[in-house]
Structure 1
Amino acid sequence: MSAALGALVYFSSASENTARFVARCRLEERGVDVFRIPLRPSDPPLSVREPFVLMVPTYGGGDIRKAVPMQVKRFLNDPDNRRWIRGVIASGNTNFGEAYCAAGDVIAAKCQVPYLFRFELMGTPEDEATVRDQLPRFLAGLADPTTHGAPGTPGTPTT
């Protein structure tokens, strides 16, 4: 594990909206590692071995069954990645109605982790400040042995 507090793992489509949001948060300056889930299946898979929060855009145009991008599903289907997830942040479009940020709902439920934050589309400066300030605090709390920071607790798949 690195000397960082933990990590933010994110997925961004070719539009780069999520990538730009993450860059504006400047999380590395706050001691948070940042990793991107590859866009193309031909790219080498991402392997994360430290506690992380997942940031994901919502897909599906309002269809909750299609809310989680395939690349994110592939990443989380690796048990060695999934065991380290500690929370989720999602972006979405309020035009999706009840499916707004549904990827976060789906992942939080399936991985049994807290849904920490949601924001619309590219986020606002206030959204960036919230993530920049609160994510390092959340990750720092995972180092406390009385919290759920031990590998294999939240994020462990249920059968």
Structure 2
Amino acid sequence: MAKAIHLVYISLSGNTQSFVKRLKVYLETKTDLPVKTLNVKDLVKEQNDFFAMSDYFVAFLPTYLEGGNGLDTGDVEILTTPLREFIAYADNYRYCYGIVGSGNKNFNHQYCLTAKQYAQQFGFPVLDNFELRGLADDVERIGEKVLALYRS
């Protein structure tokens, strides 16, 4: 049985951080497990002070891409690569239940594309997605999925 729920994310504009904070509050009302959050951006500030995970976690990733259309003309992940590096570090991906993507639906095929790329690279599922800061319904839906992972 898990000792805590771990939510690992990167937030640049504040949207993902806002979602994770609201998700943490939701989860704390539904379980006795402590909910721990980690913004990987904070580790980068401290000279890439990555560490090996020993507990399972759910990852949260906004979409920041440069170039391409998300289909056939390519794309390059920008700004969020520290999360990729953290997940790869010391094989942390082995402890990742899956990833939740976020973005702006105006970007069509590129919406949550980075989360799909992480899932393919590391072999874990895309658990869900939300737009921008997410709605209360998104928090509840994703919260229930996270709880199900930690109960199994």
* Equivalent residue runs for 1:1-159 within 5 Å: 3-4=3-4, 6-13=5-12, 15-25=13-23, 26=25, 27-29=27-29, 30=31, 31=33, 32-39=35-42, 41-43=44-46, 45-47=49-51, 48-60=53-65, 63=68, 64-66=75-77, 69-141=80-152
Q: Following the alignment from structure 2 to structure 1, what is the Cα–Cα distance between the partners of residues 21 and 144?
A: 14
Question: Is this contact kept in 1: 2:119–2:125, CA < 8 A?
Answer: yes
Structure 1 residues 80, 111: CA separation in 2 closer, same or farther (over 3 Å shift)?
closer
Note the residue ranges of structure 1 that are not aligned, 5 or more in a row.
142-159
Q: Following the alignment from structure 1 to structure 2, what is the Cα–Cα distance between the partners of residues 101 and 72?
A: 15
**How many residues of Structure 1 are paired with residues of Structure 2 in the alignment?**
139
Write the letter of the residue equivalent to 2:139.
Answer: E
CA RMSD after TM alignment: 2.3
SS in structure 2 opposite 1:123?
coil
Query: Post-superposition shift, 1:90?
Result: 0.5
Decide which structure has greater helix share: 2
TM-score, length basis structure 1: 0.76
SS in structure 1 opposite 2:44?
coil
Query: Post-superposition shift, 1:11?
Result: 0.9
List structure 1 segments (4+ residues) > 4 angstroms apart after TM superposition.
none
Structure 1 residues 2, 134: CA separation in 2 closer, same or farther (over 3 Å shift)?
closer
Structure 1 residues 67, 58: CA separation in 2 closer, same or farther (over 3 Å shift)?
farther
State the percentage of identical aligned residues. 29
Note the residue ranges of structure 2 that are not aligned, 5 or more in a row.
69-74
SS in structure 1 opposite 2:54?
coil
Query: Post-superposition shift, 1:61?
Result: 5.2
Q: Following the alignment from structure 2 to structure 1, what is the Cα–Cα distance between the partners of residues 143 and 6?
A: 12
Other-structure match for 2:71:
none
